[in-house]
Chains A and B, each alone.
Chain A
Amino acid sequence: MKMQFKIYRYNPDVDAKPYMQDCEVELEPTDKKLLDALVRLKVVDDTLSFRRSCREGVCGSDAMNINGKNGLACVTDVAGLKQPVEIRPLPGLPVIRDLIVDMTQFFKQYNSIKPYVINDTPPPSHERLQSPKDREELDGLYECILCACCSTSCPSFWWNPDKFVGPAGLLAAYRFIADTRDTATNERLDNLEDPYRLFRCHSIMNCVDVCPKHLNPTKAIGKIKELMVKRIA
């Protein structure tokens, strides 16, 4: 099967500016996912650059914009993709080369929410106990793979990537607030109480729409907002 592509290309070593490249590749019957097609394209043109690793949707390397929507190439079926398949780097982040973006800002925001359990009481010799019900509170929160599909589909993150934490970071913030082992809820809310960091989320819900792990950052953000309001009241 032949497949048509339109791919965003930019190599700062040779290109004055980015351009869209038309190309075509012959797929084998075993090439079921978009990543398979990109790997085959790269055999023909070894200058095509993109990140990839696990090829099963758990490492978060191959996030890109596919026919206008962010997703992971490795879990996107080629069957059913409208052709030519238009592939661009994740929107809103500086492009380093081709489909590779500079994710510094994204990770800076993630790190800013202190993504680790804070608990200054000395741990017991066994586990810090947690009931199955309390543990269930973390479902839908801890599974994030930091692919950045969500944050780079969020208009608020596009406008203020330096000030707005973004859906991925806020999902992580709530993951620690919701953890019964964490004792720093107040500190975490303080850290987000600012016109930008949390409140730039306007519930557009692009994040929910694109998340390849079917997580719901908007819901988590809503819960943080509720806690803020409760705290004031």
Chain B
Amino acid sequence: MANVAKRQFDAVIVGAGGAGMRAALQLSEAGLKTAVLSKVFPTRSHTVAAQGGISASLGNVQEDKWEWHMYDTVKGSDWLGDQDAIEFMCKTAPEAVIELEHFGMPFDRVESGRIYQRPFGGHTANFGEKPVQRACAAADRTGHALLHTLYQRNVRANTQFFVEWMALDLIRDADGDVVGVTALEMETGEVYVLHAKAVLFATGGAGRIYAASTNAFINTGDGLGMCARAGIPLEDMEFWQFHPTGVAGAGVLITEGVRGEGGILLNGNGERFMERYAPTLKDLAPRDFVSRCMALEVLEGRGAGKNKDHVLLKLDHLGPEVINHRLPSIREIAIKFAGVDPIKEPIPVIPTTHYQMGGIPTNYLGEVMVPKGDNPEVRVNGFYAAGECACASVHGANRLGTNSLLDLVVFGKSAGDSMIDFIKRERPVHKPLPENAADYSLSRIARLENQTGGEEVNDVRSAMQKTIQLRAGVFRNSENMALGVKEIAEVAERAKRTQIKDKSKVWNTARIEALELDNLIEAAVATMIAADARKESRGAHSHDDFQKRDDDNWMKHSLFFNHDRHLDYKPVHTKPLTVDYIPPKERTF
């Protein structure tokens, strides 16, 4: 097939959000020749939209311990999180956040000069006793502050960015080792082979499989699609977080930090309904729980508004000073997207798809682990993943607010360190590329080029989003999910025949959207099949026909294999690194 230009690096990182840039820093500062590919300029990555904070038991405002943070995270995960990875993340959190501060991140401060911390959902002191202020914040722009700081630090480290390049496929050799990626330079439309000793995926989530999502247009699960096509399974894809407070109608995120600062949820009768469901944590219970309560209020006819289809987030009682100082962007978003000024009126909100708990299976070192024979976790040589695209698994069946930004920097760094170590000890020279390494990607592009009688990308994407929205929502049931499995298989067939009118080379966004749909569809199929199979309710997977958590049969991770669409399962890691196992118990708040 065609002659494709090749470039060689020690390491290739796909994605320049928080995880990709934290890893890049590690590799650049170690002097490795590193290429960071991103579909968008780095500071436009979706990390930029994170608002409320990054968790760490600094104890700047109230006494806190990483063991409490670990307990909250395990409980928040509904005991699907791997306790070794959770211990690693929570124990590392304080140094990771202090490091960001040293990098120059503009955190808010308390009088002592230390970082300001606010309460957040599911964050408690003394193993669930009472709320604690653990979320380190830069107003309500923590993701922006973090992402820009990491970009700036990478400018200092001379990191080589390939801006507006889209990775197409993973290159694996005959041993199954990862030796590079193919990628499309958007400006020219040229395909390249990037040959590497180690590859990191930090490609973010696939939130755009849903019709209503807080996610950016770019969150198309590219890493998941590339893995699925290359025979790497996807873990726990049935678990999607619905954020309680998306702006009704618009989907734009309103941070949980609003409730952290004292905001409350009201139903159509003006009742603070969370007091009924969660007497201790009230509005600051974890997200899966609050979202279900909100959805119940609406389903039972206690919604607000003309159509009683949402609830209200009230914060006017915080006063203009707190709102303008701590939540300035929320005010801006409410005015722009909900048409209300929260200083005077409540914001109409509704649970909205926000975060993918599942993803590419990794351990806490960022190494991608897949089953082989009887061993459920064997390393894929040369392949790493971190951030939302990865499943370490620290979030299990439900992520705690502010643990996402923490995940990015903790596992971005550990993956970077693992890559440095791997390159030094095991892969000092490049493994050869397989012959015709770009053929598969080129054939996908040629298919698009030559497709006739196909369907428009937008129509197929809309059908996918409608299906997932309807069949894999906050409340799920057997009948609905079985229909979803059938419907999404049909949509996946249609996705094989998408057609674009634009055939030009330069900045062809029609082609990019078609290639993105190829990735989305893999995530959508995995989501539907894994959801349909799980006969219990756990975290964000709430099953009407199996309303209880079933630890005997289902305390296990799902693994979806794309080639024949079968599921496999692997055990949850119940052994923390140093502390005692936290055994399952009932989750009340």
Contacts and interface: CB of A to CB of B under 8 A. Distances in A.
Interface string B132-146: 000000100100110
A58 B216 CA distance: 10
B504 A127 contact: no
A13 B506 contact: yes
A75 interface: yes
Contacts of A50: 509
Interface in B232-251: 249-250
Interface in A94-137: 96-98, 100, 103, 107, 111, 114-117, 123, 125-132, 134-135
Contact of A116 (B104, B332, B510): B104
A14 B103 CA distance: 46
Given A53-B46, A97-B506, A59 B40 contact: yes
Interface stretch (B8-16, B109-117, B422-430, B556-564): B109-117
Nearest to A100: B507
A126 B114 contact: yes
B43 interface: yes
Given A53-B44, A60-B43, A96 B506 contact: yes
B155 A115 contact: yes
A56 B513 CA distance: 20
A59 B249 contact: no
Nearest to B253: A56
B252 interface: yes
Interface stretch (A140-148, A187-195, A216-224): A140-148
Contact of B216 (A14, A59, A128): A59
Contacts of B108: 132, 135
Contact of A46 (B98, B501, B505, B506): B501
B458 interface: yes
Interface in A1-41: 11-14, 30, 32
B133 to A, nearest CB: 15
B43 A146 contact: yes
* 9 A-B pairs closest in CB distance: A129-B113, A117-B104, A13-B504, A46-B510, A59-B44, A116-B152, A47-B502, A97-B507, A123-B102
Interface of A: 11-14, 30, 32, 42-43, 45-47, 49-61, 75, 96-98, 100, 103, 107, 111, 114-117, 123, 125-132, 134-135, 138, 142-143, 145-146, 176, 179, 181-182
10 contacts: A12-B506, A53-B218, A58-B144, A59-B46, A60-B43, A125-B98, A127-B102, A127-B107, A138-B106, A179-B106
Given A53-B218, A54-B48, A59-B40, 5 more contacts: A59-B216, A126-B114, A127-B114, A138-B106, A182-B104
